[in-house]
Amino acid sequence: MDYIHLHEMQFYGYHGALPEETKIGQRFTVSLSLAVSLEEAGVTDDLDKTVNYAEAYAVVKEIVEGEPVKLIEAVAERIASAILTGFGDKVEGCRVRVIKPDPPIPGHYRAVEVDITRGRFS
């Protein structure tokens, strides 16, 4: 299987379980890996035979910067669902990593993250 990776896309959203997270907002980082057959696109040099990176980015941006949810798990599921339905049979599966670098919880850590894989794998 071939993959397209969009690494560490940066967004500002209002997701969180605490009231201040939905008022103030915070940074989110998303990485997306798409399981896609790339051979035909590579041979023909035809954008229609692959997934347009700008369109995939726009899908993620709309979700992360859109309607707030409490959990980054929900953000990741929404992204995976939108990618798998929006790009039809071109995307066999996807891996979504949603990172919250500055959650309002005490302690010393770099970030919190969820990492999910969804798809139509045979």
Give the active site residues: 100
Distance between CA atoms of 99 and 15, rounded to whole angstroms?
12
Distance between CA atoms of 22 and 31, rounded to whole angstroms?
22
Please report where in the chains the tokens 């997270």 appear, as a residue.
21
Phi-psi group of 31: left, alpha or beta (phi > 0 → left; psi -120 to 50 → alpha; rest → beta): beta
DSSP three-state, residue 48:
helix
